Amino acid sequence: MVDVQYVTLVETVLQYFFVVLFAPLFAGILASFKSKVESKKGPSIFQPYYDLFKLLRKETLLPEGSGLLFKYIPYVAFGVYSLISIIIPVLIPQPIYFTASADFLGGAILFSTAAFMKMAAAMNSNSNFSALGTSRAISFNFLSEGTLITVFFAVSLITATNNPYVTNHFLVANPLQNVSLDHIFATLAFLMLFLYETGKLPLESSGLQELGMIEEGLNYEYSGKLLAINKWGSYIKQYLLGSVLLNVFLLPWGLFSTYPLFFLDVPVMILKWLLLIFIVIAIETTLAKLRLFRILDYLATAFTFSILFLIFSEVIV
């Protein structure tokens, strides 16, 4: 008989290191496949790892006049994303160590906290370019964070609990709930939020810099190790949001929680992510980029979907 505490420890370690180590890979697969669709040679799927290793070896230069927030917040934000990675079901569909630290709303607040800290650090750089990116992020984030919290709040009403694992098990056991109108509204809202938070077209192109920089604006003055930590944290954030979209909204099935079958969750999540990457590429390559001022309309639509989900969950149903 395998000790339960030992199994939980293995599950926790497996989930954490899978998130941290594989998050750049999914970003690389997305960038590489998108280039192939656009008939370009494109980078290797391991390019994010090359970039991180290169930046970690480079010297870190601090802008003149920057403060302690600019220097230390990247590590704190990385720690917040690391904490989220062992709280929500992003690999193992069974509660692990630290799961009791937060629920759906706690996870949403942690995401918002990390975003706030990154904006505060960018402002602390004393750079006009970073201030421009921060002002844009603040202008849009009040709707994106409202959507995130509203969606998680509405989802928790389905099972009368904020526990994401209970919600996942409920959706697995009740397949018809996944095609209900309220769940469809929630899925659309979270998909739109995922596209915004990860800087995907038709919202933002990092190559446009001052014309479309939101996330890029927050990293504008970073270099060396600090830039590597920020980029790595962004990869983890993308994986966390994408995995919640997959495991709670789109495809809650297919994950194992018993020993030793939970090791199969690794290839299952890779397959799920390949499907999500296909969806994202289809959206990015078929829709034109939105003008910057239209992002508010886009996020307002996502927020409306989340409110409709709440209405259908409680008022109509």
pLDDT, one tens digit per residue, over 122-149 is 888 887 777 777 887 887 887 888 888 8
pLDDT, one tens digit per residue, over 20-44 is 999 999 999 998 998 888 888 888 9
What CA–CA distances, in Å, run from 108 to 119, 180, 258? 17, 24, 28
The pLDDT assigned to 205 comes to: 47
As given in the structure block, the two tokens for residue 250 are 């789109």
Per-domain boundaries in the chain: 4-316
pLDDT, one tens digit per residue, over 46-98 is 999 999 999 999 988 888 888 888 889 999 999 999 999 988 888 888 877 87
What CA–CA distances, in Å, run from 18 to 93, 107, 157, 263, 269? 14, 19, 30, 11, 10
